[in-house]
Amino acid sequence: MKNKIFSLVFIFTSMMSYAQQDAQFTQYMYNTININPAYAGSRGVLSIFALHRSQWVGIDGAPITNAISMNTPLNGNNLGLGVSVVNDRVGPVRENAISTDLSYTIPTSETFKLSFGLKVTANLFDLNTSILNPVDNDPSLQQYNNKFSPNIGTGIYLHSNKAYVGISVPHIIETNHYNDNDVSVFKEKMTYYFISGYIFDLNSSIKFKPSMLSKITVGTPFQLDLSGSLLFNNKVTAGVSYRWNTAVSALVGFQISDSMYVGYTYDMDTTKLNKYNSGSHEIFLRFELFKTNTKMVTQRFF
């Protein structure tokens, strides 16, 4: 119990001392819509995605994230539309972000397309003061219950059936969600994302895809994710991922049908926090509706 209390205090203190960061995902290559609005419609079909992530299992108040999204191209033009909801819980903090994404795509060659995206987000911030066990009933804390703040973001995404690269800032407006006389600050700051990946055909039945995600937020350590996955017979995916100075991960995925794909990730911490938790778990389901009754013309690995 002592370890759990210490860990909760550590998480909350770190959260208040530095800039807020967006929800973290290990299988970012399948969940690009949450960080780059230009991804909307890029798969060419109606794509529905749902994810659950439990981080640092065994620590009271550790991050728990639920996300669901939908994105699709709009017939008859080069527009793409996306809608997403992310619920993030960290200690006494609850956040719900509801976003709408709009993209516009232009062909740049016979194989590549360039997409520009705009994200509009409504954020609801809630501070559960009962978890903090305040000595006095401080009425000033009530102002942080269901606090609303809007935001906007943007991104570009260059992609083909074998490669992609993207740059984005999903939240441009910096917002103070919590400010206790400038002693403790919970601030949403701009985060810059760079994502890339490529698919190599090793032979007729095996594909290899290295991918990378870098994340820069002013006032927080630089984050870099490096991943490598193998796809066997367009059905089974297995790979590993490394988050710089933070965690190593195992990734698996299964193409259950032409329309349905499920994936799972286990993260093992490489920081001092590994003494207090049994790792992190992430599971997702992607379901797609095709334009015709046939499967997607070209299998996509991202």
Which residues, at least 6 apart from 52, have a Cβ–Cβ distance to it below 8 Å? Answer: 65, 66, 282, 283, 284
Identify which of 64, 41, 39 has the alpha carbon closest to the alpha carbon of residue 54.
64
For residue 301, the model assigns a pLDDT of 73
Q: HSE, CB side, 13 Å, CA atoms: give it for residue 81.
A: 4
Q: Cα separation of 59 and 31, whole Å?
A: 26
For residue 183, the model assigns a pLDDT of 46
For residue 295, the model assigns a pLDDT of 52
Which residues, at least 6 apart from 146, have a Cβ–Cβ distance to it below 8 Å? Answer: 124, 125, 126
Q: Cα separation of 148 and 212, whole Å?
A: 33
Torsion of CA 268, 272, 278, 279, to 10 degrees: -30
Which residue type sits at 247? A
Which residue type sits at 103? S
Q: What is the pTM of this model?
A: 0.85
Q: Cα separation of 185 and 183, whole Å?
A: 7
Q: Cα separation of 48 and 219, whole Å?
A: 34
Cα first-last separation, the chain: 42
For residue 273, the model assigns a pLDDT of 85
**Strand 64-73 versus strand 46-54 pairing type:** antiparallel
Q: HSE, CB side, 13 Å, CA atoms: give it for residue 173.
A: 12
- Alpha-helical segments (H) within 106-152: 129-132
pLDDT by 10s per residue, the chain, length 302? 444 444 444 454 444 444 446 788 999 999 999 999 999 999 999 999 999 999 999 998 899 999 999 999 997 779 999 999 999 998 888 899 999 999 999 999 999 999 999 999 999 988 876 666 655 555 555 555 678 889 999 999 999 999 999 999 999 988 765 555 554 455 677 899 999 999 999 999 999 999 999 999 877 888 999 999 999 999 999 999 999 989 999 999 999 998 999 999 999 999 988 888 999 999 999 999 875 544 554 556 78
C-alpha distances (whole Å) from 93 to each of 15, 104, 145, 205 are 10, 35, 10, 46
Q: Residue 141: helix, strand or coil by DSSP?
A: helix
For residue 186, the model assigns a pLDDT of 58
Q: Cα separation of 121 and 155, whole Å?
A: 14
> How many helices and strands in the chain, by DSSP H and E?
2, 17
Q: Cα separation of 56 and 22, whole Å?
A: 17
Give the DSSP H or E segment for 54: strand 46-54
CB of 11 within 8 A of CB of 5?
no
For residue 126, the model assigns a pLDDT of 86
Burial label, 141 (beta-carbon count in 10 A; 0-12, 13-18, 19+): middle
For residue 26, the model assigns a pLDDT of 94
